[in-house]
Structures are given as structure tokens and as C-alpha cells.
Amino acid sequence: MINRTTLTGRLTRDVDLRYTPSGAAVGNFTLAVDRRFTNQNGEREADFINCVIWRKSAENFANFTHKGALVGIDGRIQTRNYENQQGQRVYVTEVVVENFALLEPRSSNPNANNAGSGAPQSNAGNNNPFDTSNNGGNNANNGNGGNSADPFANSGDQIDISDDDLPF
């Protein structure tokens, strides 16, 4: 039997992070997933999928995401039921998230900084040589005046590599 789902969508709200009595973190959120087709008015509709994520992954997901964030999740569909305070049986279908991916850079959304989230939003001192959003002063001596994080950008110089230097 196979029970696998992969979704890409946007968070409809911040993750609701709670802890069980035994101390396990659990995060609940809803993912808005666009449908592939448009309705009669030419508008694209969305499905709103309830998701749950557990333990350290839940803490990380809550710290590094926010309402509107584009994320990819991988997990399994689970159904459960319980009796509410009125004595009625409630059935719940949700995706239990096993893996997730953040699909947009944090700097793309100026409102991405959640108070107390622990997720740093500044790119100052960024050591990623391919991130051109903020040089952070790390590549000031890259041969092109420090104007680009890419040391080969617009230099026009040919790179001299011998066959002995190649790993294949």
C-alpha cells in the first residue's frame, strides 16, 4: 500500500506550534494549493489542506515560515476522529508532514520577520557567494572591486585551467 502526498502551496496563517504533555512539539497549519484549472470566471481556485508536523521539524518549520510563505511538503494522508465537547463524533483528514522545503528566499517578503521566531532575517555577513542581495563585505577582494558576490561576473578574463587540475 502507498500513502504519499506531495504539495506545494502557501501558508494561510502562521504555524500554530504547541507542545504535548510529554514535551513533543506539534505544529498545525493550512496550506492553500492552487488548482490546475480555472473556473467559469477565469479565476483559479484553491484547496485548503490541513497539515500537521511533529517534533524538531515542527519547531524549525514554525521558526522559518510565516503566513503567505511558499513551501513544499511531503508526507502521508491520515484520518482520525474524536468526540468533541458536545458529544459529537468529529472526523479529521490531514497531511502528516515528514519533509518540507522552503521555496522562496526569506528576503523576498519584507514581512517575513516573525517576532520571537528566532529566524534571522538579515543577510549581513552572508557567506553564500551566489546571493547577490547583500554582499556583506565578504567578497570585497574578489578582483572586481567588490561590486558583485560572483567573482567571475563581468570580468571578461579567461580562466586558465590545465587538464591536470580537472577531477575527471
In-domain check, residue 139: no
Task: Specify if 149 maps to a domain.
Answer: no
Note whether residue 116 is domain-resident.
no
**Residue 118 belongs to a domain:** no
Q: Are 90 and 101 in contact (CB under 8 A)?
A: no
Residue 9 belongs to a domain with what CATH number?
Answer: 2.40.50.140
Domain count across the chain: 1
Look up the domain containing 97 and give its range.
Answer: 5-107
Question: pLDDT at position 39, please?
Answer: 86
pLDDT tens digits, 49-79: 999 999 999 999 999 999 999 999 999 999 9
In this structure, the number of other CB atoms found within 10 A of the CB of residue 99 comes to 11
Q: Please state, in angstroms and rounded to a whole number, the distance separating the CA atoms of residues 128 and 149.
A: 8
Tell me what pLDDT residue 149 has: 62
Does the residue 151 lie in any domain?
A: no
Report which of 29, 17, 114 is spatially closest to residue 56, judged by C-alpha positions: 17
CB 72 within 8 A of CB 51: no
- E-strand ranges in the chain read 5-11, 16-19, 25-38, 44-54, 70-83, 89-102
Beta bridge partners of 164: none
